[in-house]
Amino acid sequence: MAKTFKYIILGGGVSAGYAAREFAKQGVKPGELAIISKEAVAPYERPALSKAYLFPESPARLPGFHVCVGSGGERLLPEWYTEKGIELILSTEIVKVDLAAKSLISAGGETFSYQILIVATGSTVIRLTDFGVEGADAKNIFYLREVDDADKLYEAIKAKKNGKAVVVGGGYIGLELSAVLKLNNIDVTMVYPEPWCMPRLFTAGIAEFYEEYYKNKGVNIIKGTVAVGFTSNSDGEVKEVKLKDGRVLEADIVVVGVGGRPQTALVKGQVEEEKGGIKTDAFFKTNLSDVYAVGDVATFPLKLYGELRRVEHVDHSRKSAEQAVKVSSLPKFVSSCTKYIFIIAPACPL
C-alpha cells in the first residue's frame, strides 16, 4: 500500500529544510507534505561541516545547526516538523522514481505517491577512486558531504594530533578545510592544478590575497599539479601522496575536495536536462508541470548572465527551494525572476 502525499520533497539537505519552512508559511495542511531523505537526521546547514563542526574547542554539533539558522532564521528541530504535520521519512533511500506514475520506491520496498514532486537530491562528491587513482582507497583519505563524513574526519584529526595533512583541491572545501585543519595544529599542504585558488570565482588578484594569507598562517600551497597516487602503511592508512610533478608528500590525513556531481540519475530520461542538471524555468519548474528541481540539481535561467546555469552554492539552495514552493503551492503566484546575491569568499576561521 503506497503512502500518499500532496507534496514530496526528495532529498533531505538544505533545500529540503528551507522548502519545508516555506510550505509552512504558505499554509500546508498536516499530512500533505513529506520529506524523504537517506540521511538519519533532519535537514541541517551543510556548510557547518567544513568549519565549526571541526573546531578543536567547542565544535558545533546537532541540533545546533539545523536549518534555518544559517540565514538567521528559526532552528527547525525534528519536533517542528511534527508540530507542522510534515512527515520526515529519514534513513530511507529512494531507488526508483517513476514520474509518469507519480511514484517513488525505496530500497526497503516502500512506495510513495505524490501530486507534486520537488527534486532536491543535491550533489555527490567526486572521488579519486572514480578515476582509478592508485591507492585512493587507503584509510584516512576523506571526502566531506554529510555528518557521518565529518565525524570520521574529526576522529582522525584527534587521532593524528600534530600530524600532516594534504588537502587535494583549491575550491571552497579545500580552503575551508585547510583553515580548520591548521586550527587543529595539523601541518597542512594544499595541492591543486589551477594557477590560483577558486579560479571560477576569483580573479588572480583576489586569489593572491587569500593565498598569501594562508601562507602567512603556515599553510603550504602547491599549484599546477595533481595527486596521481597514494602509498599506505602496514595498517592500510595513507602514508604518502604522489604528485604528477614527481614530488612525494608525507600525509597522515588526506582530504579531497575536487567537486561534486548533481544526483540526477533517478529522473534521468524522464525530464529535460541541460548542462549536467535538470532544466527548469525561472520558478524551478521542469518541463513536467508537477515536478520541480532545486539546489545543485537545477539548471535554470540566471538573468545576470543571460543564460542557463547550474549553481552549487548554499544561498542558491535556500532561495531556489523557497521560490519553487511559492509557485507549487500557489498556482497563480506571480513573481519576478529569482534574484541572487552570491557571497564568493570562503568562510575562513584562521
pLDDT (tens digit per residue) in 316-328: 999 999 999 999 8
pLDDT tens, 330-350?
Answer: 654 444 344 444 444 455 556
Q: Which of 322, 321, 293 is nearest to 308 (CA)?
A: 293
pTM of the full predicted structure? 0.92
Q: CATH for 127-258?
A: 3.50.50.60
Q: Tell me how far apart the alpha carbons of residues 323 and 188 are, in angstroms, rounded to a whole number.
A: 40
Q: Which of 308, 314, 298 is nearest to 263 (CA)?
A: 298
Residue 188 has pLDDT above 80, yes or no: yes
Give the mean pLDDT of the chain: 94
> What sign for the dihedral angle of Cα 149, 150, 151, 153?
positive
Mean pLDDT score, 247-275: 97
**Inter-residue contact 86 to 76 (CB < 8 Å):** no
**Predicted local confidence at residue 326, as pLDDT:** 96
Q: Which of 176, 183, 187, 243 is nearest to 210 (CA)?
A: 176
Between 3.50.50.60, 1.10.3720.10, 3.40.50.10470, 3.20.20.70, what CATH number should domain 3-124+261-329 receive? Answer: 3.50.50.60
On the question of a common fold for 3-124+261-329 and 127-258, the answer reads yes
**Predicted local confidence at residue 342, as pLDDT:** 40
C-alpha cell at 120: 532536491
Q: Which of 129, 145, 150 is nearest to 238 (CA)?
A: 129
Mean pLDDT score, 252-281: 97
**Predicted local confidence at residue 331, as pLDDT:** 52
pLDDT tens, 84-125?
Answer: 999 999 999 999 999 999 999 999 999 999 999 999 999 999
| Pairing relationship of beta strands 238-243 and 227-232 according to DSSP bridges | antiparallel
Q: Which residue has the cell 588572480?
A: 204
Q: List the chain domain ranges.
A: 3-124+261-329, 127-258
The share of the chain scoring above pLDDT 70, in percent, equals 94
**Predicted local confidence at residue 61, as pLDDT:** 98
The share of the chain scoring above pLDDT 90, in percent, equals 91
